[in-house]
Structure 1
Amino acid sequence: MDRRRFILGSAALGCSAAASPFLTPVALASGPWDNRLVVIVLRGAMDGLDAVRPLGDPDYAGLRPTLNDGKGLAVDDYWALNPALSPLLPLWQAGEMGAVHAVSTPYRDGRSHFDGQDVLEAGSLRLDGDAGGWLNRMVATVPGMTAETAYAIGQDRMAIMTGPAPHLRWSPEVTLEMSPQMRRLLETTLHGDPLFRDAALQAVAIADGMAVDDDGMATGNAASATALAEFTAARLREETRIASFSINGWDTHAGQAGNLSRAIGQLAQTILTLRDGLGPVWDRTAVLCMTEFGRTARENGTRGTDHGTGGALIYAGGALRGGQVAGRWPGLSEAALYDRRDLMPTGDVRAVAGWIMRGLFGLDADVIAQSVFPGLDLGTDPGLIL
């Protein structure tokens, strides 16, 4: 039995894997630190202007005559959260959740989910296939790292964790149908390996929550995201220090109000599941929710938004200073928009991650700017670490 590739099961995909993969991976790695970092990739391009609404901007209402429903959760005189984020409002008020607005990767103009996600996970425009993902490069900068518990759940892999630095993978590839007798055999076979036994049985429990319809299509996405968060929290309570997984459902070309509400509700439940599962470790945890690009400032004719540029990063965790919308706001006047259509990026989302890694793990700024994110200008510390 190959510990690095333990096959259990998966569901078929019925739409674009980049825009809406049902089961995308979760990767974890151990480290010599006491702090934890969780990176959640929001696949499909979250509309940051709807998730964290600049109601105080005089041009916002005119750009979004139907999406601006007036029901946002005001957090100050300028900003309001999407109502679907209401479960996280107590975290915001406690200073354990916030956002950074008008940020993006260096990716411009192509507006392709696949390319945008490649840049986000590689952390660079140099996509030569050899550099790996930025989380893997970060791990590679730390001497003495060992592979502890690293899993990829789903048909895709988390490119953000690929590379030469030590990490383990688990990638389900076939439909899981396991009788009680087979489960008992699995437990018996792995009895002498408690670490992998417990992980495998947790994976079985996750698969139990992944319903499949008569055509073999996956259903119950919210339940699976919650299960992944529970699985991740359990590992982070032990020796794991870095985790990354993804959540789909953010491509909102039409009917955005309902579709985005469901995706945001799923993210809110995922963050709360992490918080509850981590317990006292939550105070030493940073959760970064990143997406490949933002969406157009102006809503389209189908009450949705199209692929854009600038967007928002949502963060949570007891190790971070929340209760704020950080970043430099450019405004939404036509002259202020990127290409007169998108929110203008005024910050690099990689720099946000870089400063948080520096604060959590004590990495040197030159290491971040040269090895983790080659060529990055870190700029000014946004002061998000407590």
Structure 2
Amino acid sequence: MTRQTLSRRLFLTRSAALGCSLAASPLVTPVTMASAPGENRLVVLILRGGLDGLDAVRPYGAPEFGDYRGSLLDGAVPGELDLDGFYALHPALAPLMPLWQAGELGFAHAVSTPYRDKRSHFDGQDILEAGTASLGRAQERDGWLNRLLQGLPGTEAETAYAIGHSDMLLTRGKADVANWSPDAALPLSPQAEKLLDMVMHGDPLFRDATAEAIALSQVSLALSGQAGAADAALDSSGMMGTMQDSMAGAGKKKDGLDEIARFAAGRLRGDTRIAAWSVNGFDTHSRQPRQLSRSLDDLAGNILALREALGPVWEKTAVVAMTEFGRTARANGTGGTDHGTGGAMLFAGGALRGGRVVGDWPGLAEADLYDRRDLMPTRDVRAHAGWIMRQLFGLDAGLIERTVFPGVELGPDPKLIL
């Protein structure tokens, strides 16, 4: 392909193809940010795949736990990382124990969204990110974090754009948000930039978006230590090849989540007040000890990297990690667990009152289980998130119950914010 044959139509076609590949890949993680008034920060982590809360925060004090889960403990002593005499941390979360001891880490157990029975990842994640009580409302395709932004006066988006990558449902809606995709670094020469400007000149919206993409690319290059990569001149063919190579490698770096944390922290130290991204790999149908250990290790490292990069801003930050559903109380026949209902939520940060596991424990006796197979949810996970947002940003309870999380009952204050 020559410069003469490159057209806006071809550029859009190639970009759309790249975007479909990215959207289908569980490795790609969008980061969404917004600025808001006040000094407090909120970070929302979506744990995709259905985190097994019974393994992440082990209720070893329940007499049935050993019978249900002994085969998954992989030689670990159930209460080895004891939290309070009843719950213990999964060994892969051991690096977070200093946060627990400092009161900067906590959990809510036996929680779930209103989603029940069908246990589909796609539907469960839609309801989680939409913050609604039913799938029908979730399919309206706006997210609860975006509705939160609409209720905060003075909010505005950072200028950002990610080529070939869509935003999260969590943040989709009328309020402007900014998106950045890790590893989408395009080392363009001045000649290539001029070429792009020529192709997009007749379309101001796409031209401006492309300019933003190039600016964000320089951020990615700086973060990855490739700031000098743009020195090599790229013709139109080389430019498209670079885009494909860059996007194909997105999320494959071992330290990809750490890069996300550092990027988000840099913005949160400035005007940004809200950030959200996904952590993948929690679908553990088989070989759960190995797979969950790897994913929880990623999660722990991500939180610690964020804490380190935030510095003193950590004291004003609340991190909330939520998943679409929990997993079955009993292990299955392939060394894993199947899609369930009740699960756990993690919260961390200097703005939170940690050092405890909150929630009404329902028990693990068969008669106490949901559908005689899953941990029984005793509280809506949206209520805990709602209380955090209410106290973090001074929101009215009615705004949360009617708009941010329609139909939720906040219930008693769990006192999660200091």
**TM-score, normalising length from structure 2?**
0.80
Q: Which of 32, 37, 40 is the aligned partner of 1:27?
A: 32
Q: Which runs of 4+ in 1 moved over 4 A?
A: 9-14, 149-154, 174-177, 181-186, 194-199, 205-209, 216-219
SS in 2 for 1:65: helix
What is the Cα deviation at residue 26 of structure 1? 0.9
Q: Are 2:20 and 2:164, in contact at CA under 8 Å, matched by a contact in 1?
A: no
In the alignment, which residue of structure 2 is the partner of 1:64? 69
Q: Which of 76, 83, 86 is residue 91 of structure 2 equivalent to?
A: 83
Task: Judge conservation of contact 2:29–2:181 (CA < 8 Å) in 1.
Answer: no
Counterpart of 1:203 (choices 207, 220, 224) is: 220
From 349, 356, 368, give the equivalent of 1:336.
Answer: 368
Structure 1 counterpart SS, 2:400: helix
CA distance in 2, matches of 1:361, 1:96: 19
184 and 270 in structure 1: CA distance in 2 versus 1, 3 angstrom threshold: farther
Q: Deviations over 1:161-216 (max 9, x none)?
A: 000012233468x975636x469979xx9xxxx9988744223356779xx99xx5
Letter in 2 for 1:342: D
Distance 1:270 1:362 in 2: 28
Tell me, in whole angstroms, the C-alpha distance in 1 between the residues paired with 2:18 and 2:266. Answer: 22
CA distance in 2, matches of 1:219, 1:148: 23
Aligned-pair CA distance for 1:67: 1.0
1:157 to 167, 175, 179: 167
Q: CA deviation at 1:302?
A: 0.8
Provide the residue aligned with 2:348 in structure 1.
316
Is 1:133 equivalent to 2:143 in the alignment? Answer: yes
Partner of 2:108: 100
Sort the Cα spacing of 1:165 and 1:218 in 2 relative to 1 into closer, same or farther, 3 A: closer
Counterparts of residues 106-185 of structure 1 (less than 5 Å): 106-124=114-132, 125=134, 126-127=136-137, 129-130=139-140, 132-149=142-159, 155-170=165-180, 178=187, 181=189
Once the two structures are superposed, what CA deviation does each residue of 1:13-48 show, in whole Å capped at 9, x if it has no partner? 69x95xx71012110000012100000000111100
1:273-352 mapped onto 2 (5 Å cutoff):
273-352=305-384
C-alpha separation in 1, matches of 2:363 and 2:191: 57
1:53 to 58, 61, 66: 58
The structure in which a higher percent of residues are helix is: 2
Contact 1:49 1:297 in 2 (8 A): yes
Q: Distance in 1 between matches of 2:161 and 2:193?
A: 22
Which AA in structure 1 matches 2:58?
A: R
Structure 2 counterpart SS, 1:74: coil
C-alpha change, 1:101 and 1:255, in structure 2 (3 Å) is same
Give the Cα–Cα distance (whole angstroms) in 1 for the partners of residues 141 and 402 of structure 2: 12
CA contact (8 A) 1:24 1:157 kept: no
Which of these residues, 23, 43, 60, is aligned with residue 48 of structure 2? 43
| Residues 149 and 235, structure 1, Cα contact 8 Å, conserved in 2 | no
Structure 1 residues 327 and 208, CA, compared in 2 at 3 Å: closer, same or farther?
A: farther
Report the Cα distance in structure 2 between the residues aligned to 1:253 and 1:103, rounded to whole angstroms: 21
Alpha-carbon contact 1:52-1:80 (below 8 Å) kept: yes
Q: Which amino acid aligns with 2:154?
A: G
Q: 1:154 to 1:346 in 2, by over 3 A?
A: farther
Percent of aligned pairs sharing the same letter: 55
Partner of 1:228: 260
Residues 277-308 of structure 1: CA deviation (Å, up to 9, x unaligned): 11111000000010000000100111100100
Q: Which has more radius of gyration?
A: 2
8 Å contact kept, 2:59–2:65: yes
Counterpart CA distance in 2 for 1:309 and 1:202 is 40
Asked whether the equivalents of residues 10 and 175 of structure 1 are also in contact (C-alpha less than 8 Å), the reply is no
Preserved CA contact (<8 Å) 2:130 2:138: no
| TM-superposed deviation, 1:80 | 0.5
Q: Is the 8 A contact 2:111 2:377 kept in 1?
A: yes
Partners of 1:48 and 1:149 in 2: how far apart?
Answer: 37
Unaligned runs of 5+ in 1: none
Displacement of 1:147 in angstroms is 2.0
Aligned counterparts of 1:208 and 1:21: Cα–Cα separation in 2: 25
Partners of 1:202 and 1:183 in 2: how far apart? 20
Give 1:128 deviation, angstroms: 5.6
Structure 1 segment 8-19 matched on structure 2, within 5 A: 17=24
Q: Kindly report the root-mean-square deviation, in angstroms, between the aligned alpha carbons of the 2 structures.
A: 3.2
Q: Secondary structure at the match of 1:289?
A: strand
